[in-house]
Structures are given as structure tokens and as C-alpha cells.
Amino acid sequence: MTSKPSKTILITGGSRGIGRAVGLLAGLKGWSVSVNYRSGAAEAEETAQSIRASGGRAHVVQGDVSNEEDVVRLFAETNDVFGTIDAVVVNAGIVGPSLTLAEMTGPRLRNMIDTNVLGALFCAREAARIMPRPDTEPSGSIVFVSSAAARLGSPFEYVDYAASKGALDTLTIGLSKELAEKNIRVNAVRPGLIETDIHASGGQPDRAQRLGRQVPMRRPGTANEVAEAILWLCSDAASYTTGAIIDVAGGR
Ligand code: NDP
């Protein structure tokens, strides 16, 4: 009896936080994992080692998602190494210090949109080019990592970030219709307050504490709790789910 070839998942920003949790969980479930990072090579390699230690296959690929050439390369490299891309988790994202819109500089706004929106569009486009498959095969899957901020707006915190994530929600709905005939499902998760390094960016730990007081479940979520929802959307268990946006936010 021949064993089933493992499926391949590409995770942007897979070196830390939510992306790393998706990679570890995918490795445990037998996926081959392509771990993308921008600047933290050591963390990405450590994540890949952990995936291999649990029996999975892992490949590390550097690339800045806001750079079109990098995105084309990281998809091509993943496809070359594993021979297929079955699922893409568009996870890489940034959040800036809490500022009013009036205080935000041009470079801050450009970086937010270039990374969170343009980066997601580049990734989705490469997925749409590489992943189409006949409807006799299991579907491919794209999952965008949005945010509860897309729904709540985050006034006086980071409206640019909230707007960037709102764009991902709209992209999820539109692209799910466009790619349905190509047998690719497109979904999103909206994490709420999740314990990762992202809250240290901008040096405002009190923001996480203030957000935490708004969570009905009275605790932050873990990266693994978000990873479970993402991996379900990537898997064949979600074979009739497309255009869905799932909140993983403790009721917030
Ligand atoms: P982390 O800051 O812990 O990790 C971010 C990851 O993204 C790192 O692997 C980082 O790599 C990578 N990354 C950042 N910019 C780029 C880029 N331009 N190109 C490629 N990779 C990049 O973040 P989280 O795990 O917390 O967040 C993951 C996603 O979840 C983000 O999209 C975030 O907006 C979203 N989210 C998080 C929430 C939370 O409370 N944590 C809540 C709601 C949404 P490197 O270190 O090499 O730069």
C-alpha cells in the first residue's frame, strides 16, 4: 500500500506567534510546512526544527511580503521544494504604536498598507496562479489572518491597522467567489487579543491590558487557539466552507 503524499502549507510570517503555532500544529498533523519570515532567521529556523522534531517536513524561506519579487520567489521556491501548494495562510502582519490618525506619518501609513494589504494581495495573487486544480481533487485553501479590529474599528488606537484588516475581510468575500470555480476556498479568521510578541511593537504593553478588559471570556487567547481554527479551514474537513470569516476572540 502506498502512503498518501503529505499536503503542503505555506505560512507567511510563520516564524513567530500565530504563524508559528499554525506551523507546529500542521507538522503534527503530517503537513509539509513552508515557514516564511522577514528578518528573524534564527526564529524561523528554530520553528522549522521543532516541526521536523515532531515528524513533519519543513522548509524556511525568507521574504518580505510587501515586496512583489520576494512574494513571487517564496511561492515558486515552496512549489519547487514540495511539488505542490495546498494551503496558504496569509498571516504576516504588523501593528504600529497607538496613535490618532492626525498623528500618523506618511511612512507609517504606507508601511501598514504595503505590509498588511498589498502583501496580502501579492500572496493571494500568487496562490491564484499556482493553486488551481480540477474539481475532482480536494480543494486548495487560502486563509487570511484578519483581526477583530476590522469589525470594531479601534478608534484612537490604530485605525490604519483596523482599515487594513477590513480590506482583508472584503478580499475574502470577493476572492472566494472568484476562485470557487478553480476549486480554491478562501476564508479568514479574526483573532481578538492573542498573547504574542506583536503587542510589544511600539512599546505599549498597556494597550494589551486595556484591550483585555474588553474580552467577555476575561482572558487573552493563545496562538494555538487561533491555529486550530486556521488549520481547520485549510483542511478537507472544511471542504464546503468558503467566503467565511470566523471570529476567534473570546466573545469580544
Ligand atoms: P508576531 O509579531 O508575533 O509575528 C509576526 C510574524 O510576521 C513574524 O513571523 C514576522 O517575521 C512576520 N512578518 C512581519 N512583517 C513581515 C513582512 N513584511 N514580510 C514577511 N513576514 C513578516 O504577530 P502575531 O503572531 O501576533 O500576528 C500574526 C497575524 O495575526 C498578524 O497579521 C496580526 O495582525 C494578526 N492578529 C494578531 C492579533 C494578536 O493579538 N496577536 C490579534 C488580531 C490579529 P519577522 O520576525 O522575521 O519580521
Q: According to the model, what pLDDT value does residue 1 have?
A: 47
pLDDT of the residue at 23:
98
Q: Whose CA is nearest to atom 8 of ligand 1?
A: 13
- What are residue 234's phi and psi, to 5 degrees? -75, -25
Instruction: For residue 40, give the ligand 1 atom closest to its CA.
Output: 47
**Which residues of the chain register pLDDT less than 70?**
1-5, 201-205
- Output the DSSP codes for 106-133: HHHHHHHHIIIIIHHHHHHHHHHHH---
Q: What angle do CA 161, 164, 169 make, to 5 degrees?
A: 125
For residue 234, what is the DSSP state?
A: H
Query: Could you tell me the distance, in angstroms and rounded to a whole number, from the CA of residue 207 to the centre of ligand 1?
Result: 17
DSSP readout, 143-181? EEE--THHHH--TTT-HHHHHHHHHHHHHHHHHHHHHHT
Q: Which of 10, 119, 130, 21 is nearest to 61 (CA)?
A: 10
Predicted model pTM: 0.97
Would you give the DSSP letter of residue 102? G
Q: Which of 196, 199, 211, 226 to mutate to test the pocket of ligand 1 (most atoms within 8 A of CB)?
A: 196
C-alpha cell at 124: 493571494
Cβ–Cβ < 8 Å for 14, 65: no
Could you give the 3-state DSSP secondary structure of residue 60?
strand
Domain ranges of the chain: 8-248
On whether the CB atoms of residues 139 and 85 are closer than 8 A, the answer is no
**The pLDDT of residue 45:** 98
What pLDDT score does 204 carry? 62
Tell me the residue length of the chain: 252
Atom of ligand 1 nearest to the CA of 17: 25
The catalytic residues are 161
Q: What is the pLDDT of residue 207?
A: 74
Per-residue pLDDT at 203: 52
Query: In 3D, which of 112, 225, 82, 210 has the Cα closest to residue 157?
Result: 210
Q: How far apart are CA 131 and CA 210, in angstroms?
A: 41
Tell me the CATH number for domain 8-248.
3.40.50.720
